């Protein structure tokens, strides 16, 4: 029987997800954790199998393929891609995997895929890019939306990040995206009550059926 390349590709996705879950240690937060409900982080530690079960969701698989394609374009324009970055904040370690970082470290690009995006940039994406900027010292952050409904590139501004922080009730006294700001943000996030950051978050949460703090607003985007 000939080799099945799709199966090999999907198997690699599962193995990568397993490694990611196995590597997670207490006090270690990925940027994706920091832009989400803090209780989701706790649920992911209790029930990693639930996250693993979502690995082969069609949208995630297609999103991975779209990322690979645009990252390869950016690599041809001199960007470093899938850059792993780690920053120590007190006893915590913040880890991020940045889609694309310019060689001079000044520009961060995040790629988003999916069905569509309303009013880009979405506040949780803005927050993600701002954290990457704080971790790397980059001064320009961009989000490239490669969705079925819209293909658009947006540069994030101070107003975008202030609006994102306002929506989640986080401290808004920022000057620059730097480690001082990140420290303050991580302290706020780790001390936050177990509730969703965003009004739509429980509607998309893989742990919703088990979570005592679930709030459902029927806000699926």
Measured in whole angstroms, the distance separating CA 173 from the mean position of its chain's CA atoms is 22
- Rounded CA-CA distance 46/53 in Å is 14
CB of 178 to ligand SF4, least distance (A): 29
Closer CB to ligand SF4, 8 or 191, in the complex: 191
Between residues 37 and 134, which has the closer beta carbon with respect to ligand SF4? 37
- What residues numbered 15-54 form the site for ligand SF4, per CB under 6 A? 37, 39-40, 43
| Total residues binding ligand SF4 (CB under 6 A) | 14
User: Tokens 């310019």 label which residue?
Assistant: 102
Stretch that binds ligand SF4, among 4-12, 70-78, 112-120, 194-202 (CB under 6 A): 194-202
Rule CB under 6 A: is residue 142 a binding residue for ligand SF4? no
- Which residues are near ligand SF4 by CB under 6 A? 37, 39-40, 43, 195-196, 201-202, 205, 207-208, 211, 213-214
């Amino acid at each position: 029987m000939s080799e099945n390349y799709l199966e090999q590709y999907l198997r690699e996705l599962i193995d990568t997800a397993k490694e990611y879950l196995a590597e997670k240690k207490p006090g270690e937060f990925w940027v994706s954790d920091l832009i989400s409900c803090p209780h989701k982080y706790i649920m992911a530690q209790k029930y990693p199998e639930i996250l693993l079960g979502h690995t082969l969701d069609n949208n995630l698989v297609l999103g991975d393929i779209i990322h690979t394609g645009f990252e390869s374009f950016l690599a041809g324009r001199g960007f470093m891609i899938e850059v792993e970055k780690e920053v120590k904040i007190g006893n915590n370690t913040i880890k991020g995997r940045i889609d694309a970082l310019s060689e001079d470290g000044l520009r961060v690009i995040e790629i988003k895929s999916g069905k569509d995006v309303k009013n880009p940039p979405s506040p949780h994406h803005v927050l993600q890019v701002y954290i990457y900027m704080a971790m790397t010292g980059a001064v320009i952050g961009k989000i490239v939306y490669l969705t079925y409904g819209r293909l658009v590139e947006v540069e994030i501004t101070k107003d975008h990040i202030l609006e994102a922080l306002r929506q989640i009730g986080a401290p808004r006294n920022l000057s620059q995206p730097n480690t001082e700001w990140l420290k303050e943000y991580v302290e706020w996030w780790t001390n936050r009550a177990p509730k969703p950051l965003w009004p739509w978050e429980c509607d998309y949460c893989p742990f919703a059926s088990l979570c005592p703090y679930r709030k459902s607003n029927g806000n699926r985007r």
